[in-house]
Amino acid sequence: MSKRIEVENLNVFYGDFKAVEDVTLTVEPRTVMAFIGPSGCGKSTLLRTLNRMHEVIPRAYVEGSVKLDGDDLYGPGVDPVRVRRQVGMVFQRPNPFPTMSIADNVLAGVKLNNRRLSTAKNKELLESSLRGANLWNEVKDRLDKPGSSLSGGQQQRLCIARAIAVQPEVILMDEPCSALDPISTLAIEDLIGELKEHYTVAIVTHNMQQAARVSDMTAFFNLAAQGKPGRLIEIGTTDKIFSNPDQKATEDYISGRFG
Ligand SMILES: Nc1ncnc2c1ncn2[C@@H]1O[C@H](COP(=O)(O)OP(=O)(O)OP(=O)(O)O)[C@@H](O)[C@H]1O
């Protein structure tokens, strides 16, 4: 279920503006990679290229390639909708459909993909997705209540359950804890540790402790100057990046000297 992501010589544009320049990196299956760096260096932009969400913005495009187990996501004839089914995404703010029930929220993506399942299969998928997101025990007695009746942290886990339900290969997370309290944040961090047993995970985070806690590999991005594109400065095991980085800019950023 988990696939290797290979980004090669990727340039990412918003019209004439190049936001990210010449990124090459690999995320191995069943690992978590953290994208870190100061505001505006293109972490979220890069993340969104990994499931072709970037191009939904008018005049936005990429050069280079992103491969999933060798298949170029930007190859001719590749359907972006199919890509987004393989590569799920969890956003900064939990975004369940507020009036839809908890159960329908989990199965929303599956229904959108026109997968018709028997009632028994639906129930099975509902339970396994909620268990996978560590939410089952908290909601099993109120599956018909609206998604908005849950706390912020529960809503974020509901969104993770919704992402898992379509059985993706990769899960992308864009600052998934930035709107959550510390307890909910820890619950999501624990969950990320479990998700990587089944999925390849890439996460954007501003929280250095979080990057250190949840990721196996860390990629540090920076801007040469304001208005210039973001570039990958250093990539390595999270242990190395946080204890003995090769680049001074990485060390300065990790130790809070800028950004
Ligand atoms: N929709 C857009 N149209 C034009 N430019 C954009 C758009 N979204 C982002 N940008 C620009 O692309 C660059 C990278 O932005 P991005 O949000 O990817 O950075 P980031 O590293 O994720 O920042 P942050 O940490 O603040 O979220 C910035 O210069 C930003 O202004």
Predicted pLDDT of residue 161:
96
Q: What pLDDT, in 10s, does the model give residues 126-141?
A: 999 999 999 999 999 9
201 C-alpha to center of ligand 1: Å? 21
Please state, for a pLDDT cut of 90, what percent of the chain lies above it: 88
Q: What pLDDT, in 10s, does the model give residues 241-255?
A: 999 999 999 999 999
How far apart CA 254 and CA 259 sit, in angstroms, is 9
pLDDT band at 114 (very low <50, low <70, confident <90, very high): low
Predicted pLDDT of residue 110:
85
| Contact call for residues 169 and 86 (beta carbons, < 8 A) | yes
Alpha helix locations (H) across the chain? Answer: 43-49, 80-86, 102-112, 119-132, 136-139, 152-165, 182-195, 208-214, 238-243, 248-254
- Pairwise pLDDT comparison (120 vs 235), residue with the higher score: 235
Domain boundaries, the chain: 5-95+171-254
In short, whether 57's Cβ falls inside 6 Å of ligand 1 is yes
In short, whether 40's Cβ falls inside 6 Å of ligand 1 is yes
* Neighbouring residues of 71: CB distance < 8 A, sequence distance ≥ 6: 78
In short, whether 43's Cβ falls inside 6 Å of ligand 1 is yes
| CATH class of the 5-95+171-254 domain in this structure | alpha beta
Nearest CA to ligand 1 atom 12: 19
Please tell me the pTM assigned to this model. 0.95
Residue 16 has pLDDT above 80, yes or no: yes
Q: What pLDDT, in 10s, does the model give residues 48-89?
A: 999 999 999 999 999 999 999 999 999 999 999 999 999 999
How far apart CA 127 and CA 162 sit, in angstroms, is 11
